[in-house]
Amino acid sequence: MDKFDIESLQENIHFKETKLYFQEVMMTYQIRAYRSAVVTLWSVAVCDIVLRLQHLIDLYNDPNAVKIVQKIKGEQNKDSKSSAWELQILEEVLKQTQLINHADFENLKYLQKQRHLCAHPILSDGLQLYKPNKETTRALIRNTLESVLSKPPFYTDKIIPTILEDLSEAQNILVKKSNVKRYIEDRYLNRLPLEVELKLYRTLWKLTFRLDNVDCKKNRMVNLQILFILTERHPSKIYQHISEDKNYYTNISNSKNIISFLVFYLSETNRNFFLLLSESAQTIIKETCQKNDFSMLHGWFIYENLADYCKIVFVYMNKNSSFIISKIYWENIFNFSDSIEWDNQVNQLMVFYYCSSPSNNIALKRYNSTILPFLDKFNNQEKIEFLLKNIELSYKLCNKETLKSSHQALRKHFEKILPKEFDFTVYPQFNAQTLQETSPDISQLNKLD
């Protein structure tokens, strides 16, 4: 490891106080004062650990960090001249937090031994001070940077209650999913070890899909959003995590409302997530998808493929012609797959849904929720002609005065995409409905005698 490597790791030191202290280590190392460099390095490492604990206390009131600092302060009060607390704090941090692991701890213990050799004369060697060589000193600096100083200030798994409380308080401000994502990643997730993220996921699963107390009801949506974010961050790890503890994740609520949240979650994952669950859990989910509009629309994963799902939705629309699919539901449906084939299938589903409207009022509502927000989906001649053909077949849509302005706007959009020579008279009813009425030219009236 050369000088450049050390300096590059030095740039990753989190706390400005530690960076300042570490400059002294580098100065003594560069002038070959290796004994002083090792002694100072140990002090810097211990101070950095204390700073990390205080960081957890100040920002998150982490209970383990509070406990450790209080214990060390008690030891210092007993004997202010003793340095025994320095190794003790490392032992406590190893046992109760995720700040360091066993390998890091052993590296720091070795640094402490080297520090003692450098700081205290050895009687058996004629009161000589130990002097480490350049290679040893460089290795100690490298290990300390990698083990502690250059790592972000990770949290203990006891921080999870703090995260949940913080999100509960902030959820009314963090309305959009994108805002929730930025908030939790910047404040927590980007500094959490993977194993703590998985513990957070496990806790949220229980709160979102199993329990139904007052707090769970209040926070269910924000908890669901965090589950989405964690799954997006580590899809394969989450899948493995569930597969290794199926009994825990199969234990879900029987409440239709809670199952609807689970259906929504599963709709944005790979179908294999659903197949991980037990037969009993799958049965509950399937039954909910058959009895609830929202769950039916989002429960694509209970079918062998998306084509089968489309057939079921088509039949459901035919039997339940009065229900309204909102814009956000269509957005979710489009996201079930990113293939061109799926985009075309959903487009056709939207056309059928609109053109099968049983009444004037429902047709207008469906136009506003299904056609108008997704004009960009009708982006080629084939899709436009499919819609025009079905509008033409639906006589009532072409004979509703309330839909006239909507269809005129639709025609304007089509004219931007279709070739200029496109013949709208092939669809006579739509053409007659959407022809713009020409106002009389009154400019000539002044010339009349």
Phi, psi of 425 (to 5 degrees): -70, -15
Quick one: pLDDT band at residue 75, thresholds 50, 70, 90? confident
39-59 mean pLDDT: 93
Q: Half-sphere exposure (CA, 13 Å, Cβ side) for 321?
A: 13
Q: Which amino acid belongs to residue 17?
A: E
Phi, psi of 367 (to 5 degrees): -60, -45
- What's the pLDDT tens digit per position in 290-310? 888 999 999 999 999 999 999
Exposed, middle or buried: residue 95 (CB in 10 Å: 0-12, 13-18, 19+)? exposed
Structure tokens at 449: 């005698």
Q: What pLDDT score was predicted for residue 142?
A: 92
Q: Half-sphere exposure (CA, 13 Å, Cβ side) for 125?
A: 8
Q: What pLDDT score was predicted for residue 287?
A: 96
| 1 has pLDDT over 70 | no
Stretch (H or E) spanning 323:
none
344-369 mean pLDDT: 92
Structure tokens at 153: 């200030």
Structure tokens at 176: 């959009």
Q: What pLDDT score was predicted for residue 449?
A: 39
Which are the contacts of 24, defined by CB distance < 8 A and separation ≥ 6? 40, 44
Phi, psi of 212 (to 5 degrees): -140, 35
Q: Give yes or no for a contact between 143 and 38, defined as CB atoms under 8 angstroms apart.
A: no
CA distances from 95 to 43, 102, 282, 333 (A): 21, 9, 40, 47
d(CA 222, CA 203): 13
Q: What pLDDT score was predicted for residue 127?
A: 64
End-to-end Cα spacing for the chain: 101
Give the residue among 413, 319, 323, 428 at the shortest CA–CA distance from 374: 413
Beta-bridged to residue 128, according to DSSP, are 122
What length is written for the chain? 449
Q: What pLDDT score was predicted for residue 289?
A: 95
Quick one: pLDDT band at residue 67, thresholds 50, 70, 90? very high
Q: What pLDDT score was predicted for residue 157?
A: 63
How much of the chain, in percent, has pLDDT values that exceed 90? 68
Structure tokens at 211: 């329990």
- What's the pLDDT tens digit per position in 367-422? 999 999 999 999 999 999 999 999 999 877 877 778 999 999 999 999 999 999 99
Reduced to 3 states (helix: H, G, I; strand: E, B; else coil), residue 291 is: helix
Q: What pLDDT score was predicted for residue 150?
A: 85
Q: What is the mean pLDDT of the chain?
A: 89
Q: Which of 71-75, 89-93, 122-126 has the lowest mean pLDDT?
A: 122-126
Quick one: pLDDT band at residue 437, thresholds 50, 70, 90? low
When comparing pLDDT for 41 and 445, which is higher?
Answer: 41
| 126 has pLDDT over 70 | no
Count of other CB atoms within 10 angstroms of residue 143: 19
Exposed, middle or buried: residue 317 (CB in 10 Å: 0-12, 13-18, 19+)? middle
Q: What pLDDT score was predicted for residue 155?
A: 66
Tell me the DSSP string of 253-289.
---HHHHHHHHHHHHTS-HHHHHHS-HHHHHHHHHHH
| 233 has pLDDT over 70 | yes
In the numeric block, the tokens 């979710």 are attached to 332
Q: Which long-range contacts (CB under 8 A, 24 or more apart) does 334-338 make?
A: 335/268, 336/267, 336/300, 336/306, 336/309, 337/306
Q: What pLDDT score was predicted for residue 125?
A: 58
Per domain, the residue ranges of the chain are 3-149, 155-278, 303-437
Q: What pLDDT score was predicted for residue 2?
A: 46
d(CA 406, CA 63): 60
Q: Which amino acid belongs to residue 9?
A: L
Q: What pLDDT score was predicted for residue 321?
A: 76
55-76 mean pLDDT: 88
Judge: domain 3-149, CATH 3.30.420.
no
Q: What pLDDT score was predicted for residue 296?
A: 95
**Cα torsion for 383, 405, 365, 295, to the nearest 10°?**
20
Count of other CB atoms within 10 angstroms of residue 349: 19
Q: What pLDDT score was predicted for residue 440?
A: 44
How much of the chain, in percent, has pLDDT values that exceed 70? 93
